[in-house]
Structure 1
Amino acid sequence: MKPGPPNRSRRPVEDEAVLAAALECLLTVGMRRTTMADIARRAGTSRQTIYRRWPDVQSLVAEVMTRQWLGVVSGVLEGEGPLRGRAEIVDALVAVAAGLRADPLLRRIVEIDPELLVPYLFDRRGASQDVMLERIESMLAEGRRSGAVRDLPPGVMARTVLLTAQSFVLSAATMADGVTVEELDEQLRGLLDRYLTPLGPEGKPQ
């Protein structure tokens, strides 16, 4: 007896539903208490369905983090044309840093699961860091071509900018005693502006 056609009455759960369920779990109970069973239940699917797409909770969480934080970056830069002026570039960088620091997922991770961030600070870059680095490098290269940004290799400047901004994103709360994060953001703006300012013949900012 030949097998019948595959049962297509149940539509496969889209990745969106699983990612949304995983994000909800992370925000509610944190990484250590999140399981594939919890995610599957919230997404209205089975663990087996999720395992066909993600091999473990860690890989699923990594995709959630990447999607969430690149969404913040895109939300800040959406609709922006080429940023050629230094002030425009610096404003965009500070706005991205402020947006990431305020992101509920990042705040929750810093609060209860900071070990999730350790590999991306000391061992390897994550996918979101790679994309941010690429976008910063592109902005700085455009600014360099227009003469608004100093004449250094964009790759070097982009890494310096990302390292600086990253500290303001992750550690600002520990330094905001007696000052506000908004005041710290103004200092970040000044640091980035001075760093990116072209230098004159005597090596001084123009």
Structure 2
Amino acid sequence: MRSGSQNRSRRPVSDKAVLEAARECLLTVGMRRTTMADIARRAGTSRQTIYRRWPDVQTLVAEVMTGQWLAVVDAVLDGGDRPGARAEIVDVLVAVAAGLRSDPLLRRIVEVDPELLVPYLFDRRGVSQDVMLDRIESMLAEGRRGGTVRGLPSGVMARTVLLTAQSFVLSAATMADGVTVAELDDQLHDLLDRYLAPGGREGESR
């Protein structure tokens, strides 16, 4: 008679189910208390099955975070035309920042496992940051072609925008004493709109 563990190891399970199980573990107990055994149990499979796809919990969690952050971006853009004018671009950027800041997984990580975010702030960019940079740069290039975004190189502007938005995502709560986060988002909107508007010191366009 096969054991339950052996039966689970033979049971097919999708990557999506494993990622969702890992996400549930993060929301429930946090990264430090999450193990491959916990994830396997929630996904209805074995640790060996998961280890064949992900070498460790950290790699699996990184994929969960990437998928979660990009899902927020996709939710903002879902069903809408690709923003081309500055006003539309700024609306999207502020909506994405607000969506990320209120995302349950990011809030849980900030509360109990903030060290997970440290490498992506001080050491290297993550996959989601690279994807966001590409999307922001593409939007800004379109705005430049339409004449509503200033003539600075799109790569420079995209990095400046992402750095600014990140601070409003991760640190807005620490500044919301006597003001609301919504008021800060209004200022982010004004800040980005003024920064991207033509007529500033453009420098040499490339």
TM-score (norm 2): 0.92
Deviation for aligned residue 1:79: 2.1
Aligned equivalents of 1:30, 1:148: Cα separation in 2: 44
Structure 1 unmatched runs, 5+:
1-9
1:105-144 equivalences in 2 (<5 Å): 105-144=105-144
Q: Which residue of structure 1 aligns with residue 86 of structure 2?
A: 86
- The one-letter code matched in structure 2 to 1:34 is T
Residue 71 to residue 158, structure 1, CA distance change in 2 (3 Å):
same
The reply on whether 1:55 has 2:55 as its aligned counterpart is yes
1:55-204 equivalences in 2 (<5 Å): 55-199=55-199
Count residues in correspondence.
Answer: 195
Aligned equivalents of 1:125, 1:98: Cα separation in 2: 21
Aligned equivalents of 2:159, 2:202: Cα separation in 1: 25
Look up the SS of the partner of 2:177 in the other structure. Answer: coil
Which consecutive segments of 4 or more residues in structure 1 shift more than 6 A? 200-203
Deviation for aligned residue 1:57: 0.1
Structure 2 unmatched runs, 5+:
1-9
Aligned equivalents of 2:75, 2:186: Cα separation in 1: 21
Aligned equivalents of 2:90, 2:200: Cα separation in 1: 20
Q: Which residue of structure 1 aligns with residue 39 of structure 2?
A: 39
- Quote the sequence identity (%): 84
Aligned equivalents of 1:201, 1:71: Cα separation in 2: 35
Look up the SS of the partner of 1:53 in the other structure. Answer: coil
Aligned equivalents of 2:14, 2:113: Cα separation in 1: 27
1:4-38, CA deviations, whole angstroms, 9 ceiling, x for partnerless residues?
xxxxxx54211111001000000000000000000
Residue 23 to residue 201, structure 1, CA distance change in 2 (3 Å):
closer
Residue 201 to residue 64, structure 1, CA distance change in 2 (3 Å):
closer
The reply on whether 1:19 has 2:30 as its aligned counterpart is no
- The one-letter code matched in structure 1 to 2:175 is M
Deviation for aligned residue 1:85: 1.4
TM-score (norm 1): 0.92
Residue 152 to residue 200, structure 1, CA distance change in 2 (3 Å):
closer
Q: CA RMSD in A?
A: 1.7
1:80-113, CA deviations, whole angstroms, 9 ceiling, x for partnerless residues?
2231211111000000000000000000000000
Residue 139 to residue 43, structure 1, CA distance change in 2 (3 Å):
same
Look up the SS of the partner of 1:82 in the other structure. Answer: coil
Deviation for aligned residue 1:200: 6.7
Aligned equivalents of 1:17, 1:201: Cα separation in 2: 50
